[in-house]
A and B are shown apart, each in its own frame.
Chain A
Amino acid sequence: MSQDKPDIKEILVTVKALLEGIANKSKGSERYDALCGAFLLSVVDRELDFGARQDESQSGELQQLLGREGSLSDFYQQFCQQVRGGELDEQWPAAFDFAFKQVVDKVSVTNPKYLAEMHQPE
């Protein structure tokens, strides 16, 4: 990562402010596109904050659940195929809990305000 200024966070804040300014001054599809752009930058911002930690934690859980080594994307594929095929039916509570936690992780990045109070990030 570059040590030069502005850092990634500062760049995001700057461009997001620009898009929000455009949204405030425009109408119709231009306003909507600008709001979508600002929203997507806030997703990037939160993914930078939480993504690596979430990946690490999910990898650990899936390694235990699936009993093998691999990358997170391999794990997702394995998990989905095994759940779909009924191979994790006997470990259903653990499989469901993992999927639920993974979804809460994703919403924490996409739109944390959407989560029920019990799942709000601390």
Chain B
Amino acid sequence: MAGATEQQALLDDIVAKLELALQRRYGQAARVENVSIATLGASNRTLLFDLVEATGRRRLVLRQETLKSEVSPFISPHDQFEILKVVFRHGVLVPEPIFELEPEDGLDVGYVMACVEGETLPKTLLNAPEFAVARKRFAAQTGEIFAKLHAIDPSEVDFLEKVVDSVDPLAAQISRYDAYCEYHPGLDVGIRWLENNRPKDKPRVFVHGDYRNGNVILGPDKIEAVLDWECAHIGNAMEDFGWVCLRSWRFGNIDQPVGGFGPRSELYQAYTSNGGQAIDEEEVRWWEIFGLLRWAVLNMMQADGHITGVRRSLPFACCGRNTSMIEYDMLMTIKGHFS
């Protein structure tokens, strides 16, 4: 864990380079002000700042990749930026993509996008009175967003065909699990169940892959933007439904499957009435069980970052032991006790 001084030095270095990067694009008068660290996420560092020019001031976001791993489950920042351009063009609610970092910026890899005002903290969204209206609309609005996203011709994002999750998502998770050389009887029983109950092939669509409570910006009245496109791939539309309904993303509101906000019926109804394909609830259940395997493996990844010393962190150490609770949810779902 970096000390406070070390972290401040890192931040100062990033800000200095960011200002030069902006001057290269917007002229020598460009300045960086009001910098704040939004997150130090699993795969990226997110910084908020004002771009100040003679003509005015604009709040922007810098995202840099921080995870360097051979078994990274995340697509490159370049591909994320390309996706942002495609979905923005199609009117999906995302922050406007501004520019991609280049080697001469000296800021590693990443991109700059517009800042969207709102809140992402799951428990605040589920409990704060000011989000009451947005909460009520969340499930239906998610159905509308999924319908719009899944209608995008996958050929527009054909660079995602190379992503292992586009080829065989279950095989991709198994390969990541195996990379950590751990043996979890619960996960292997889950894997066997998933193998024996694979859904039939369906037309393949562009899926977000990580749409959940926590990766969406909400304003008081509605969803304002969908974030975190690093798990996007081509696949089965039901995967997005399974992931947003995962028990882990309900944050205690277990009787409200859609992110802890609302019922499945509102999500499904909005999806189909906006042109989405018919929902197969058994298939969604398969994708939820798959999602729990995936979430367990992602927790193993965090713990591995701590154990190997790549990213020492007490929360990441906790992730390793938290896999047991995800395995529990997985097996309870297979047994039919959880839905």
Contact = CB atoms under 8 A, between A and B. Distances in A.
Asked if A and B are interacting partners, one says yes
Interface of A: 32-33, 36-37, 39-40, 43, 73, 76-77, 79-80, 83-84, 86, 89, 95-96, 98-100, 102-104, 106-107, 109-111, 114-116
A37 B314 contact: yes
A95 B328 contact: no
Interface in B258-290: none
A79 B188 contact: yes
Interface stretch (B10-18, B153-161, B178-186, B229-237): B178-186
Interface of B is mostly: helix
B322 interface: yes
Contact of A103 (B314, B318, B331): B331
B45 to A, nearest CB: 14
A71 to B, nearest CB: 12
Nearest to B329: A114
B189 A43 contact: no
A43 B317 CA distance: 12
A32 to B, nearest CB: 7
B324 A106 contact: yes
Interface residues of B, number: 25
28 contacts: A32-B314, A36-B314, A36-B318, A39-B318, A73-B183, A76-B184, A80-B183, A83-B185, A83-B189, A83-B192, A89-B192, A96-B334, A98-B185, A99-B185, A99-B186, A99-B188, A99-B331, A100-B189, A103-B186, A103-B327, A103-B328, A103-B331, A104-B328, A107-B325, A109-B321, A110-B322, A110-B324, A111-B325
Interchain residue pairs A-B with the least CB separation, the first 7? A106-B324, A36-B314, A99-B189, A76-B183, A99-B185, A103-B186, A80-B188
Nearest to A100: B331
Contacts of B321: 40, 43, 106, 109-110
A32 B183 CA distance: 29
A111 B317 CA distance: 15
Contacts of B309: none
Contacts of B331: 96, 99-100, 103
B328 A114 contact: yes
A103 B324 contact: yes
B293 to A, nearest CB: 12
Contacts of A100: 186, 189, 331, 335
B314 A40 contact: yes
A59 B318 CA distance: 26
B338 to A, nearest CB: 8
B184 A80 contact: yes
A84 B192 contact: yes
B185 A76 contact: yes
Interface string B295-339: 000000000000000000011011001101101100110110100
B317 A36 contact: yes
B52 interface: no
A107 B325 CA distance: 6
B191 interface: yes
Contacts of B315: 32-33, 36
A98 B184 CA distance: 12
A55 to B, nearest CB: 13
